[in-house]
Chains A and B, each alone.
Chain A
Amino acid sequence: MGQWLLRATARDLCALVIPGPDVAAAYGLELGAAGLRLAATPRHANVLLIVGELPAALADAALVSYAQMMRPRGCLLLGETAPAGLPIGAQAGLSQSGLLNGLGQLRAWFCRHGYQQQVETFCAPLLMPDSASDGEGDDAGESDGRHQPDHGEGDNGRHGSHGSHGSHGSHGSHGSHGSHGSHENHENHENHENHENHEGHEGHEGHEGHEGHEGHGGMSFMSMVNVTKDLPRSPDGLPMDWIEVPFGPLFPGLPGGLSLTLTLDGDSVAGVKAETIPAACLRPPEGGFASGDLLRAVSALDPLTPVSYRLLALRALAALGATVPMPSARRCVALLERERVASHLGWLALLGCQTGFGWLQQRARQLQLACLRGAATDLRVLDKALARLERQVRRNRLLRARLSGLGVMAQQASLRGPVARACAMPIDARTQDPAYGELAFEPLCREGADAWQRLCLRLDELRQSVALVAATRSQEHSDANPFPPGTPSEAYAGEATAVVETPRGEARLHLTASGGRVTAVKLQPPSRALLGQLPHLLRQQELGDALTCVCSLDLSPWGSAS
C-alpha cells in the first residue's frame, strides 16, 4: 500500500522553482515537457527545483520554502553547488537532459525515502528564532486540535506583542492568560466606570508602537479613539491597520528573485520596498580580477541575459586594450537580438502568469524556448508564430482594458530601454553601434507610457529583432556556447567603459585596471532607475494592478545593487 502510494506520488511531481520559472526558461529548461507541474506556493509543492547557483538571499529563501513544504518532499539540484543545510535528493546538470535525468533519480528517491520512519527533522538556524516565538510545533501536529494551554509561558515578555498568546484565546483556553500581567483588567471590567480609565494603560502604548499595528497588542481595554488617532488615513478617510506583506523573492507573478514588500491597506498598496539580489561576485578579489574570471563573473551575473552581459564584459576588456575572443560585429548583433527576442517572450510569459492569461503564458514560453534552442528553429517559422501571437495579443480587448492607463511613467532622463521608448524617448544604445547602423536600425517608440504601450512596444521590438537577425544572415550555432573559445589577454591598464543595449535597456560597465588585472568594477544595470520609481508608481494602486505595473516594467533583480 505504502509503496503503491509512493509510486503514485512520485509520478505527480509539483515543483517550486528557485529562483523562478523565468530563470529556468532562460536556461532552456522545459518544465512542463518534463512532466512537472508548477506550484504557486511551497505548500503545494513536493519538489524544490534549484536552478543554477543561488546567491545568499535566495539560498535562505530556498531553506524557508523547503521547510514549508509537506513531506514527502524532495530537492532536485540542477547545477553544482547546493545551498548549505539543504538535503539534496537528486542532482544533475543544468540542461533539459539533466532535468529529465534528475527527475528520474528523484522519483526513485521518493520511492525509497518517502515514508521512511527514521527521517531527520529538517531545521536550519534561520528558522529557529521564529520557531521559538511560536512554541515548538504547537499547531503542526494533528494531535487533538487543541493547543497545549501552557506553552511558552517563559517567553511572555518577549513575545507578548505578537499576540501569540491571544491565539489561544480563540480556542477556549482562556486560563492560560492568567499569568499575563495586563489581564487583570478583564476581571474589573464588569464595572463600567473602568472605562474612563483607559488612559491609565498608557504603558501598553509602548509595546504597541513596537509592532506598529495597534490592533494586536491589546490585552487591556483601550479606547478605540486613542488607537486610531495616529493611524495613517486611507484616501477615503478611514483609519485602518496596514500590514506589510512580502511578495517575493519566490512570488509566481514577479521575476524570480525580486523581493517586494508591500504595505497593504486592505488590497491597496500604501508603501513599497523593493529588494534585489546584490551582485556580490563583482567585488574584485585581492589583487584584482584576472580577465577570464571577470568574464565569468559578469556573464553569470544575470541568468536572464547571459549573452548581453558577456558581450558587455568583452567590449569593456577590448576597450581597455586587451585582445579578446570577440565574435564578428554582425554575429554580435544576431546574438543580442536573439536574446532580446527570447527575453521579451519570457517577459510575455511572466505577464501571462501575472494576469492569469493562460494561453499567453504557455504560447510565449513555447516560443521563448524555441528561440533559445537556436538553430533548431527556422527564423521564418519563428517570425510567423510571432506575428500570430502579436495579432492575438493586440486584439484582446480585455488585456487592453486591463493594461491601459496602468503605471504611466513620466519622461525622465534616467529612463532606459523599452520603458523609456514607450515614453516616446528614442533612447537606445544600439544607435551608437556601427553594426546596427549598417542594418539601418532605427529605435522604435511609442507614446502613452502605460503598461499597454509597453506591451505593444515589446511586441514591435520582437518583430524588429527577428528581422535584424535575419538581416545579419549569420550562421546559426547549434553549440551551447555561441562565443569563440579563448580567454582575453592580460596586457592592459587604465579605465574604460562599455555599453550594451540589453533587452531591458542599456547596461554600462566601467572597469579600472592596472597591470593586466581589473581592480575596480562598476556596473550600471538597466533596471536600477526603475526600482526607484516604484513607490511613486504603485501608490494607492489596487494590489493586482500594482503587481501588473511592476511586471510591465520588466525589472531584472539580478546584479542591480553592486
Chain B
Amino acid sequence: MNPELLLALLTGAALFGVGLYGVLSQTNLVMLMMGIELILAGALVNLVAFWRFLHAESYAGQMFVLIVMTVMALEMAVGFAVATARFRTRGSVEMEEARELKG
C-alpha cells in the first residue's frame, strides 16, 4: 500500500466530510456554497492523487482536474448570481426563509 496515496486520499476524505457537514449544517446559501467548494476540493485531491500514483502517464487525469476546477468556478459564479438576485428581492439569503416565504 502506497502511504502517499493513502495520505492524499485521507485528505480528500476529510475535506469531503467537512464539506458535507457544511452543506448540511449551514442555513445560508453563501455558506452552503463553501461546503460545496470543499467537497469539490476533496474530489480534486483524489483526482490528482490518482493521476500521480496510479496513472502518471495518462494526462486525461490532469484534464479532469481542470474540468473540476472549472466546475468550482462556475458553481460560484452562478451561485452568487442567484444569491444576489435573491437578496435583492427578499433581502436575505437564508435557506430557511426561502422555504418559509414559499410556503
Q: CB–CB under 8 A between A and B in the complex?
A: yes
Question: Chain A residues in contact with chain B, CB under 8 A?
Answer: 192, 195, 223-225, 227-229, 231, 236-239
Q: Which 10 A-B pairs have the closest CB atoms?
A: A228-B91, A224-B92, A237-B88, A225-B92, A225-B91, A224-B94, A239-B91, A225-B97, A238-B88, A195-B96
A134 to chain B, nearest CB (A): 30
How far is B58's CA from A240's CA once the two chains are assembled, in angstroms?
50
User: Which of A192, A224, A239 has the most CB atoms of chain B within a 10 A radius of its CB?
Assistant: A224
Write the chain B residue with the least CB distance to A221: B27
Write the chain A residue with the least CB distance to B28: A224
Name B's interface SS: helix
A353 to chain B, nearest CB (A): 37
Residues of B27-85 at the interface with A, using a CB-CB cut-off of 8 Å, are 27, 84
How far is B91's CA from A229's CA once the two chains are assembled, in angstroms?
7
Q: Given contact pairs A224-B91, A231-B91, enumerate 19 new A-B contacts (beta carbons under 8 Å).
A: A192-B96, A195-B96, A223-B92, A223-B94, A223-B97, A224-B92, A224-B93, A224-B94, A224-B97, A225-B92, A225-B97, A225-B101, A228-B87, A228-B91, A228-B92, A237-B88, A238-B88, A239-B87, A239-B91
Can you report 6 residue pairs joining A to B where beta carbons are below 8 Å apart?
A224-B93, A228-B87, A236-B88, A238-B87, A238-B88, A239-B87
How far is B100's CA from A192's CA once the two chains are assembled, in angstroms?
13
How far is B91's CA from A228's CA once the two chains are assembled, in angstroms?
6
Total B residues in contact with A, Cβ cutoff 8 Å: 12
How far is B43's CA from A177's CA once the two chains are assembled, in angstroms?
39
Q: Which residues of B contact A227 (CB under 8 A)?
A: 91
Write the chain A residue with the least CB distance to B101: A225
How far is B100's CA from A195's CA once the two chains are assembled, in angstroms?
11
How far is B89's CA from A237's CA once the two chains are assembled, in angstroms?
8
Question: Chain B residues in contact with chain A, CB under 8 A?
Answer: 27, 84, 87-88, 90-94, 96-97, 101
How far is B101's CA from A225's CA once the two chains are assembled, in angstroms?
10
How far is B90's CA from A225's CA once the two chains are assembled, in angstroms?
7
How far is B84's CA from A483's CA once the two chains are assembled, in angstroms?
66
Q: Which residues of B contact A236 (CB under 8 A)?
A: 88
How far is B90's CA from A227's CA once the two chains are assembled, in angstroms?
11
How far is B101's CA from A223's CA once the two chains are assembled, in angstroms?
12
Q: Which residues of B contact A239 (CB under 8 A)?
A: 87, 91
Q: Which residues of A contact B91 (CB under 8 A)?
A: 224-225, 227-229, 231, 239
A501 to chain B, nearest CB (A): 51
Q: Which residues of B contact A192 (CB under 8 A)?
A: 96
How far is B87's CA from A177's CA once the two chains are assembled, in angstroms?
31
Q: Which residues of B contact A229 (CB under 8 A)?
A: 91
A238 contacts which of B84, B94, B96 (Cβ < 8 Å)? Answer: B84
Write the chain B residue with the least CB distance to A231: B91
Q: Which residues of A contact B88 (CB under 8 A)?
A: 236-238
Write the chain A residue with the least CB distance to B90: A225
Q: Which residues of B contact A228 (CB under 8 A)?
A: 87, 91-92
Q: Which residues of A contact B87 (CB under 8 A)?
A: 228, 238-239
How far is B93's CA from A228's CA once the two chains are assembled, in angstroms?
11
Write the chain A residue with the least CB distance to B97: A225
How far is B84's CA from A108's CA once the two chains are assembled, in angstroms?
60
Write the chain B residue with the least CB distance to A223: B97
A229 to chain B, nearest CB (A): 6
B45 to chain A, nearest CB (A): 28
Write the chain B residue with the least CB distance to A237: B88
Q: Which residues of A contact B97 (CB under 8 A)?
A: 223-225
B89 to chain A, nearest CB (A): 8
How far is B84's CA from A236's CA once the two chains are assembled, in angstroms?
11
Write the chain A residue with the least CB distance to B100: A196
Q: Which residues of A contact B90 (CB under 8 A)?
A: 225
Write the chain B residue with the least CB distance to A233: B88
Q: Which residues of B contact A223 (CB under 8 A)?
A: 92, 94, 97
How far is B96's CA from A238's CA once the two chains are assembled, in angstroms?
20
A511 to chain B, nearest CB (A): 58
How far is B87's CA from A237's CA once the two chains are assembled, in angstroms?
9
Write the chain B residue with the least CB distance to A195: B96
How far is B91's CA from A231's CA once the two chains are assembled, in angstroms?
9
User: Which of B91, B92, B96 has the most CB atoms of chain A within a 10 A radius of its CB?
Assistant: B91
A266 to chain B, nearest CB (A): 14
How far is B94's CA from A237's CA once the two chains are assembled, in angstroms?
18
Write the chain A residue with the least CB distance to B85: A237
How far is B78's CA from A562's CA once the two chains are assembled, in angstroms?
57
A194 to chain B, nearest CB (A): 11
B23 to chain A, nearest CB (A): 16
How far is B83's CA from A238's CA once the two chains are assembled, in angstroms?
11
How far is B27's CA from A43's CA once the two chains are assembled, in angstroms?
41
How far is B83's CA from A224's CA once the two chains are assembled, in angstroms?
13
A140 to chain B, nearest CB (A): 34
Q: Which residues of B contact A224 (CB under 8 A)?
A: 91-94, 97
Q: Which residues of A contact B101 (CB under 8 A)?
A: 225
Q: Which residues of B contact A238 (CB under 8 A)?
A: 84, 87-88
How far is B77's CA from A206's CA once the two chains are assembled, in angstroms?
37
How far is B91's CA from A225's CA once the two chains are assembled, in angstroms?
5
B75 to chain A, nearest CB (A): 22
Write the chain A residue with the least CB distance to B94: A224
Write the chain A residue with the least CB distance to B88: A237
How far is B97's CA from A237's CA once the two chains are assembled, in angstroms?
19
